[in-house]
């Protein structure tokens, strides 16, 4: 549902993030370690309570989001990286998102609808980027405002950076810090 007057829209989005970790750094149960060593995938609901995560959040959320977060772990079968585990964070997110709507040629305007995901960490620890093997997509069948808006299939993805300037003291490192922000954008007209 798109609210042009208040420049926001409601949506349900699915977000995936992937990273790897050494198996020795993970806090898992004995059964989960056994399953990984046998080559099986392991789903862990409370992985983030005891293990490192990229601390992702939706930057343009308005109010509280309803989120369900799951983690799936799989051991890399490559001989060189045998102690490496790939972690996949899956988020089902439902809520309201802010979007600057440009209504210059109403009612024939084409609007961008963007979801922006950021990390609490600076880009020296977490760099968010598009996954070339799992492209962003949209479910047009679930779009509520189909009678008022046409939702286009194409989804654009980009990474941008915000720059933060820390409090400066004479003895401090004066280097600026950057955070990466991943944005997925679709269009409605």
Domain with 107 in it: 2-188
Contact yes or no for 155/92 (Cβ under 8 A): no
Which 3 state secondary structure label does DSSP give 6? coil
Total count of domains within the chain? 1
pLDDT in tens, 18-60: 999 998 899 999 999 999 989 899 999 889 999 999 999 999 9
Q: What percent of the chain has pLDDT over 90?
A: 57
pLDDT in tens, 113-155: 999 999 999 999 999 999 888 878 877 777 777 777 888 889 9
**Of 51, 173, 34, 179, nearest in space to 116 by CA:** 179
For 5, 98, 110, the CA distances from 8, given in Å and listed in that order, are 8, 4, 15
Contact yes or no for 40/72 (Cβ under 8 A): no
Question: What phi and psi values does residue 120 have, to the nearest 5 degrees?
Answer: -70, -15
Cα(17)–Cα(57) distance, rounded to whole angstroms? Answer: 11
Terminus-to-terminus CA distance in the chain, angstroms? 13
CATH code of 152's domain:
2.70.170.10
Q: Is pLDDT of 177 > 70?
A: yes
The pTM (predicted TM-score) of the whole model is 0.84
Question: Which has more confidence, 161 or 176?
Answer: 161
Cα(131)–Cα(136) distance, rounded to whole angstroms? Answer: 8
């Amino acid at each position: 549902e798109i609210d042009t007057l208040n420049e926001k829209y409601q949506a349900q989005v699915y977000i995936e993030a992937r990273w790897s970790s050494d198996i020795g750094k993970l806090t898992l149960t004995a059964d989960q370690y056994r399953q990984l060593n046998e080559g099986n995938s392991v789903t862990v609901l409370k992985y983030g309570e005891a293990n490192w995560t990229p601390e992702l959040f939706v930057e343009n959320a308005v109010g509280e989001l309803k989120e369900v977060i799951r983690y799936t772990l799989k051991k890399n079968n490559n001989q060189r990286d045998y102690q490496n585990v790939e972690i996949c964070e899956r988020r089902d997110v439902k809520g309201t998102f802010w979007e600057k709507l440009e209504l210059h040629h109403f009612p024939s305007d084409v609007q961008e609808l963007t979801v922006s995901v950021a990390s609490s960490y600076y880009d020296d620890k977490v760099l968010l980027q598009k996954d070339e093997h799992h492209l962003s997509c949209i479910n047009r069948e679930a779009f509520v405002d189909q009678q008022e808006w046409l939702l286009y299939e194409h989804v654009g993805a980009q990474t941008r950076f915000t720059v933060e300037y820390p409090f400066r003291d004479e003895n401090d490192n004066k280097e600026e810090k950057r955070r990466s922000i991943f944005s997925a954008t679709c269009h409605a007209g």
